[in-house]
Amino acid sequence: MIRTWSAHPLASAYLERVCAQVRAKKMHEEIRLELINHLDELVEGQISDGIEEQEAVKQALVMLGDAEDVGKRLHSVHKPLMEWGLLGIVAALVGVGLLAMYAIDMALGDSFGGGWFFKKAIVVFAGVLLLIVFYYIDFRKLRPYSWYLYGLVIILLLLCKNFGIQINGARIWIIIGSSFSINVYELALYGFLIAFAGCVTSIASKSRHGFRLIPIAGKFAFAFVIVPVWFFVDLNRYLLIFIYFVGLVMILTAIRKFHLLVGVVIAFIGIAAGMLVISGTHSLFMLQHVFSRLRQFKGDPQTTGYYWRLIVENLQSAGMWGHGFGVPNTKLPFIYSDSIYSYLIYSLGWVFGAFLLLLTMTFVFRLAALGLKLNDSYAKAVTAGICSVFAIHAVWNILMSLGILPIVGVSFPFVSYGLTNSIFELALIGLLLGLYRRKNMLGATEIVSTN
């Protein structure tokens, strides 16, 4: 049996000097174990050659290399990371958003209160601060509290349902102070997905298969399918249900829990069938409402194709370079939010529209690639859920602005005016960058325990 020499004063001081160079403290124990194993072998080899113990330890440490140099090389391997490419793309999208708000200030003047650029700049500043804070927070430590996050989301939805402010026929807002409003249902969408990611990756491996999985699947189906869908259906937020469903599917696919994925799909199909059977006339009315919205977008040219005709006419007149920066356009609806992509093409042309489309698609693919690089299952799950929401919002808004999909109130990430959305989006980017920052800061034992 090889004797361990880690307690020797020279060896102990050497290990301390090495670890002092490595900022990833989670790696210190693993680094110590690895160096101790090498040290023990070297010392034993020196002793077997007839060298006394004290001198053998000294020579072994010399063979390992200078402590500061070894520590710096280990730090370069385990140092915190930054995904500069993704951050640069987000900065470019935020810049486009600020540019768009400045143009809308010129186009609309004092209409709707004005000050679009100034308000957007303030929330971008707040969002960047949150991005920085979230980047340095280790959100993996919050995974054990995922059920508490779920409960907090339920409480917020209940408060909104009973005390929220009704805007445009939907009680989905809570007003803080005199003017700051929070879209609780958008926030709840992210909250449910992050909570689900934490809860599903915390399932013990012994409970993942067989009959033990049945009660777990039932609990998850009720908590993360039935309850969220009930809240979303209650206010006719059908697009949120679709986004939420895609988010759950992407999370379970990312962490390869295909048995639960089948359960989620069955649960959603069961809910849809149950609503049709139990609600009867009410469900038929809801379906008629959805199809009516589609017909209103592209149907009868006398009444229901109005928005579609406006979008197509404006896009056809844009040309390669548009009508000019900040040009007024009173025909397009919601040019500061839902139709912002249409307005940017109208004012700056199809060249700029193609650039923004390419930038957005690059953002989505870069975000997905970030998730694939992560080792921790919780980080993978959170990234998959958030990425799916960003992707659907971006793609839907672009297709909506091109007259392909109906206008249903979907903002363009980082570009549209939505104040609370801008803050949430930048904070979530900080969260994802923080997860990536610690990609190489997981010890081998931690990687095994989280997958």
Phi, psi of 181, rounded to the nearest 5 degrees: -115, 145
Residue 159 lies in a domain: yes
Are 121 and 250 found together in one domain? yes
Residue 46 lies in a domain: yes
> Element (H or E) spanning 79, and its range?
none
Average pLDDT over the chain, rounded to an integer: 83
CA 322 to chain centre: 33
Which pLDDT score, from 0 to 100, does residue 304 have? 45
Which pLDDT score, from 0 to 100, does residue 450 have? 44
Are 67 and 209 found together in one domain? no
Residue 51 lies in a domain: yes
Phi, psi of 318, rounded to the nearest 5 degrees: -70, -40
- Report d(CA 298, CA 292) in Å as an integer: 10
* Last-in-domain residue among 43, 78, 113: 78
Residue 171 confidence (pLDDT) above 80: no
DSSP one-letter code for 2: P
450: nearest Cα among 385, 374, 351: 374
CA 326 vs CA 98, 307, 334, 357: distances in Å: 12, 21, 15, 20
Q: Is the pTM higher than 0.85?
A: no
Which pLDDT score, from 0 to 100, does residue 216 have? 77
Are 125 and 196 found together in one domain? yes
Are 191 and 339 found together in one domain? yes
Domain span including residue 399: 84-449
76: nearest Cα among 24, 124, 114: 24
Are 91 and 50 found together in one domain? no
> Element (H or E) spanning 166, and its range?
strand 165-167
* Last-in-domain residue among 47, 78, 109: 78
What is the per-residue pLDDT across 206-232, written as a single tens digit (0 to 9) for each?
Answer: 445 555 667 777 888 889 998 998 888
What is the per-residue pLDDT across 14-40, written as a single tens digit (0 to 9) for each?
Answer: 888 888 888 777 778 778 887 887 888
- Spell out a b/e string for 4-19, using b for 16 or more CB atoms within 10 Å of the CB, else e: ebeebeebeebbeebb
Which pLDDT score, from 0 to 100, does residue 145 have? 92
Query: Beta 165-167 vs 180-183: how paired, if at all?
Result: unpaired
* Last-in-domain residue among 45, 78, 111: 78
Are 246 and 299 found together in one domain? yes
> Element (H or E) spanning 408, and its range?
none
Q: Residue 183's pLDDT band (boundaries 50, 70, 90)? A: confident
386: nearest Cα among 418, 342, 430, 347: 430
CA 107 vs CA 103, 135, 323, 403, 407: distances in Å: 6, 36, 12, 22, 21
Are 298 and 395 found together in one domain? yes
Are 56 and 129 found together in one domain? no
Number of structural domains, the chain? 2
- Report d(CA 217, CA 265) in Å as an integer: 12
List, in sequence order, every residue forming a beta bridge with 166; answer none if it has no partner. 171
For residue 167, the tally of other CB atoms under 10 A from its CB is 12
Residue 4 lies in a domain: no
Radius of gyration from C-alpha coordinates of the chain: 28
Which pLDDT score, from 0 to 100, does residue 223 have? 92
Residue 3 lies in a domain: no
One-letter amino acid identity for 242?
Answer: F
Q: CB–CB of 152/122 below 8 Å? A: no
Residue 285 lies in a domain: yes
Are 15 and 124 found together in one domain? no
Residue 309 lies in a domain: yes
Residue 61 lies in a domain: yes
Query: What spatial distance separates the first Cα and last Cα of the chain, rounded to whole Å?
Result: 33
What is the per-residue pLDDT across 299-358, written as a single tens digit (0 to 9) for each?
Answer: 444 444 667 777 888 888 888 999 999 999 888 878 888 889 999 999 999 999 999 999
pLDDT higher for 183 or 414? 414
Residue 443 confidence (pLDDT) above 50: no
- Report d(CA 213, CA 78) in Å as an integer: 37
Are 23 and 163 found together in one domain? no
What torsion, rounded to 10 degrees, do the Cα atoms 218, 224, 230, 231 define?
Answer: 160
Are 247 and 267 found together in one domain? yes
What is the per-residue pLDDT across 45-101, written as a single tens digit (0 to 9) for each?
Answer: 888 888 888 888 888 888 888 888 888 887 776 777 889 999 999 999 999 999 999
Written as one string, the DSSP assignment of 102-149 is HHHHHHHTTGGG--HHHHHHHHHHHHHHHHHHHHHS-GGGGGGGHHHH
Report the largest interatomic distance among the alpha carbons of the chain, rounded to a whole angstrom. Answer: 101
Which pLDDT score, from 0 to 100, does residue 290 have? 52
Are 262 and 295 found together in one domain? yes
